A and B are shown apart, each in its own frame.
Chain A
Amino acid sequence: KQEVTQIPAALSVPEGENLVLNCSFTDSAIYNLQWFRQDPGKGLTSLLLIQSSQREQTSGRLNASLDKSSGRSTLYIAASQPGDSATYLCAVRPWAGNMLTFGGGTRLMVKP
C-alpha cells in the first residue's frame, strides 16, 4: 500500500527566506504527483501537478521537482512571504486507479 510522508510537519521561517518542503512515497509506480495548499478551515488549492515523466514544474515563486526512482518530491518556495503561511500537502496518483494518497502535510509559518 502506498504511503506518503511529509517532513517537516511544521516549519517557521522569517520572511524572505528560500525554503524546501519534502514529500516521500514508498511505491514509485505513480502516474503523477500534485502539491496543494490549504488555508485554515478551507479546501485545498492545487499548486502544481507533475507527471511521472517530468522532472519539475514551475509556477511563479514555486518549483516542484520529482525523483520517481528515489520516491521523492520537493516543493521549493523562493523569497517566502507571510501570505505563504498555510499547510502544504502532496498527493500521489497511481498508474492503476484514480485515487490520490495524501501526505500528512507541512504547516508553514512565515514571520514578517
Chain B
Amino acid sequence: DGGITQSPKYLFRKEGQNVTLSCEQNLNHDAMYWYRQDPGQGLRLIYYSQIVNDFQKGDIAEGYSVSREKKESFPLTVTSAQKNPTAFYLCASSGPGQHSVNTEAFFGQGTRLTVV
C-alpha cells in the first residue's frame, strides 16, 4: 500500500539529548513537510523540502534540523536547542510540481515526543 510511515509512534527524550524522527513515503512525491501540533492548536510548519538535497525553514525551525538525501525519506532531528519539544509531530508529502493536479497532501500517523 502507498503511504507515509512515521516512526516511532511514541518517543521519550531526556534533557539535553538529540532525537531523530523518521518519515518515509512510497508515493513518489517530491515535496515533504514536517509540522508540529500542540494541544488545542493548529499545525505549525517546521521544515519543508520540495526536492532531494534541498529544504527550507518553516515558521518554527529553531532547534530542529532535517536532511533530504533520498526522495523517500525526510528525517527530523530535535536538538537540545529546542527548549520545549514536547508535542505531536506530523510528516506530510505532496505530488510533483506546483501545477500538477497531484498536489493533494497526505499525512503520516504522527510521532508523540515527550521530554522526561
Q: Which residues of A are interface residues toward B (Cβ below 8 A)?
A: 4, 31-32, 34, 36, 41-46, 49, 51, 89, 91, 93, 95, 97-100, 102-105
Contact A42 B110 (CB under 8 A): yes
Interface 1/0s, chain B 84-97, versus A by CB < 8 A? Answer: 00001010101000
B63 beta carbon closer than 8 Å to chain A? no
Name the distance in Å between B1's Cβ and chain A's nearest Cβ: 14
Give the number of chain B interface residues (Cβ < 8 Å): 27
* Given A31-B98, A98-B98, also A46-B105 (CB < 8 A): yes
With a CB–CB cut-off of 8 A, which chain B residues contact A91? 43, 105
Q: Residue on A with the closest CB to B90?
A: A43
Label chain A's interface by main secondary structure: strand
In the complex, the number of residue pairs spanning A and B with C-beta atoms less than 8 Å apart equals 59
Q: Which 5 A-B pairs have the closest CB atoms?
A: A44-B107, A104-B42, A43-B107, A43-B109, A102-B43
With known contacts A99-B58, A105-B42, A31–B106 Cβ distance under 8 A: no
B115 to A: closest C-beta gap in Å: 18
Instruction: List residues 12-71 of chain B with CB under 8 A from any CB of chain A.
Output: 31, 33, 35, 41-43, 45, 48, 50, 58
| A98 close to B31 (CB less than 8 A) | yes
